[in-house]
Structure 1
């Protein structure tokens, strides 16, 4: 098929690569404009932009797909269909309907649960036991279109947003490759989303990342894993030079009692408002991620230490 592809982050690259490998013709890849990255704040292309160029695929990076010139250029591609994966812009109806067979979004949740910007993180933070990815025919409403196909995944007790992201990306790539033939031959069945059970996955805000040890331990564990690796739930650890910020990247709930924010042993078991949280992987400010046992070799946290 002649496909237009719209996506920006690494999640999208996994899908684009699968479409290329399956033999589809990508007539153009759209992505968000280059943005400042790294310590030097140099303008760098998005993951999709970089991958598409490496494959010889034409790339466009419009600041707005509502620009009349961009709508005209998109229609001129004469694509059979558009595949949209975490593009980062709301697409107008004129863009959605330009491809001959319509535009299709891969969304990382079981709709109508977790419509919106951060479905992977919010599913973990809410304690969901399963999630998935769905191929949806796009409408102008936010993730409201009918669903054509679904892949369901279990959320494990040690899953993080990072690990779940990778599994969902692989599932998304497989799902769209299997679904496109039925879109092409007209056999695909689009089922409307349920009207009940709608939830919205709000964008993650930095103020959410600080750990409040007075909250229940199960809630803290879900926050740690849902915000890992980025932005990373964090706390401060006392040191001779003052408080040091530490990100918690992996944890596990333990059903033991202890004062909130106090180390209950010498291996990063921290008391909470209900139960305790075992920190399994952390990242000290200015350092790389470390397993707890490695971290503790250079920064002992003895029983009784009070965290902020």
Structure 2
């Protein structure tokens, strides 16, 4: 099939690779423009999809917007049968949606209509959802509102956002390629709008740990923001990211260090850090962290 692929982060790479391996004709890849990165932000960094497309020898385009008549004409001139979208990062105007003869399909990282929007994986973890998955969706003008074509499910368990993203990326790639073998056989299912929830983009301020919350809620916050932006707290004047933790026994004022292993009291229950990272330093296990940092029992974290 003659396909335009539109995606940006690591999540989208397996879908692009799988389409190429399945011998679809990928006529062009659209992705976000290179952004400042690297040392001191001086070097422009290509997106993971951009890098993979170049490895595969596919033309790459990275317009800042698809709203102009020129950009839409260039897209239509590719004469694609289908556009496949996976975490692209730009809203597709109606002329873009209408250009491929068979429309646009989105590889979305939730079981719709739950968690429409930008951050479905993190929101599922934060909410304590037992399961999530991938939905293949026929795209329309609304935000993740189009009819569903196929789904695959998995358990959230104690996975971090990074681990769950990697798993869903692979599940999505397999589901996509499998369903495209007989696109005509798919029977679209209309979403129930009244059941929809919205996965708002993650604000970095949300990553500051709320020690007044239940211990289980704090652990979900840690998992949802690992690896990025990283759940964090203040130890004196130092900002510390918490990469991994476990439930522990203990009571005290929320944010109080309770013992020599750095058990920390929450609003209800307690947690014990397993892996931490001070700003500008490498991440380390809690025992190593405690050897070089003052975190005595009775210390109040914020």
Contact 1:262 1:304 (C-alpha < 8 Å) held by counterparts = yes
Instruction: Confirm or deny that 1:232 pairs with 2:235.
Output: no
Q: 1:105 matched to which residue of 2?
A: 106
CA distance in 2, matches of 1:27, 1:6: 11
CA distance in 2, matches of 1:268, 1:97: 57
CA distance in 2, matches of 1:293, 1:191: 52
Cα RMSD for the two superposed structures: 1.4
For structure 1, the residue ranges without an aligned partner over 5 or more in a row are: none
Contact 1:267 1:301 (C-alpha < 8 Å) held by counterparts = no
| C-alpha distance after superposition, 1:200-225 (max 9, x if no partner) | 01111111121121222222111111
Q: 2:215 matched to which residue of 1?
A: 217
Instruction: Confirm or deny that 1:286 pairs with 2:289.
Output: no
CA distance in 1, matches of 2:249, 2:291: 26
Q: 1:120 matched to which residue of 2?
A: 121
Match of 2:240 among 237, 246, 266: 246
Instruction: Confirm or deny that 1:20 pairs with 2:20.
Output: yes
CA distance in 2, matches of 1:102, 1:255: 54
- Of 253-262 and 265-274, more deviation after overlay is shown by 253-262
Contact 2:208 2:233 (C-alpha < 8 Å) held by counterparts = yes
- Of 250-259 and 199-208, more deviation after overlay is shown by 250-259
Instruction: Confirm or deny that 1:275 pairs with 2:276.
Output: no
* 1:295 Cα offset (Å): 2.4
Q: 1:304 matched to which residue of 2?
A: 298
CA distance in 2, matches of 1:21, 1:82: 17
Query: TM-score, normalising length from structure 2?
Result: 0.96
Query: TM-score, normalising length from structure 1?
Result: 0.94
Q: 2:180 matched to which residue of 1?
A: 180
Structure 1 residue matching 2:39: 3-state secondary structure: coil
CA distance in 2, matches of 1:268, 1:168: 34
Structure 1 residue matching 2:178: 3-state secondary structure: helix
CA distance in 1, matches of 2:247, 2:126: 13
Structure 2 residue matching 1:235: 3-state secondary structure: strand
Structure 2 residue matching 1:54: 3-state secondary structure: helix
CA distance in 1, matches of 2:105, 2:259: 51
Structure-to-structure mapping, 1:34-53, within 5 angstroms: 34-41=34-41, 42-53=43-54
